[in-house]
Structure 1
């Protein structure tokens, strides 16, 4: 990780506490540790339509150039069936990210005619 993304940036644990890159690497190496939510929404009325909502702890403040405030270390994103990003937002806390994940799922269900929701991963805290 020292040569990759975040080599010269501050890492944060899920509680927002600064941590060294080695600790971030250890945490990110634990399967599912970074996952807040992973949901797929299908539309039974249009089998070519799908939305994937993925929310995760990233560990880096990806919105560092944005608004002032606490580091935004969680990302919630919505992708279409071709994995094109439709919307992406960053959050400072796991709670905010989990709420955003649910809002993205609700919005996708509202967009679909006959939605089916598949939880594709358990929430990990």
Structure 2
């Protein structure tokens, strides 16, 4: 298994462990998409994974965007990327896809994970 930093350079396990413990380093994007009445709330999260999730079949996939929330989006949509730039673009695109399904959406960039169902 190969570990990489956000720039795609190989790193050792100790460095990867240290970086994985740094929430600010890991986070690429965290956005809430909510309906105007907040009956539907979705979180779009994009993070650095560190470990190559392509498992040797093509360029390393080091970043991941997932959607969490109610309905059909709940943990179902996942995209992976090789570079931080691709991940940032993918995050923006996923936010737009989710927002297109939410009436009177409000989009909020989050500094940290909100309370969801009693869990942080």
Question: Where does residue 21 of structure 2 map in the other structure?
Answer: 29
TM-score, normalization: structure 2? 0.83
2:65 aligned with 1:73, yes or no?
Answer: no
CA distance in 2, matches of 1:63, 1:35: 20
Instruction: Find the residue that maps to 2:32 and give its secondary structure.
Output: strand
Structure 1 stretches (4+) deviating beyond 4 angstroms? none
Q: Encode CA deviations 1:66-109: one digit per residue, 9 max, x unaligned.
A: xx321001001111248930200110000000000000111111
CA distance in 2, matches of 1:113, 1:79: 17
Question: Where does residue 10 of structure 2 map in the other structure?
Answer: 18
For the aligned residues, what is the CA RMSD?
Answer: 1.9
Instruction: Find the residue that maps to 2:24 and give its secondary structure.
Output: coil
Instruction: Find the residue that maps to 1:85 and give its secondary structure.
Output: coil
CA distance in 1, matches of 2:9, 2:81: 14
Query: May I ask how many residue pairs the two structures share in their alignment?
Result: 111
Question: Where does residue 96 of structure 2 map in the other structure?
Answer: 106
Q: Which runs of 5+ in 2 are unaligned?
A: 113-120
| Structure 1 segment 92-103 matched on structure 2, within 5 A | 92-103=82-93
Q: Which runs of 5+ in 1 are unaligned?
A: 1-8
CA distance in 1, matches of 2:8, 2:26: 13
Q: Which has the higher helix share?
A: 2
TM-score, normalization: structure 1? 0.80
Q: Encode CA deviations 1:5-36: one digit per residue, 9 max, x unaligned.
A: xxxx2111111111100011121222311000
Deviation at 1:51, TM superposition (A): 1.3
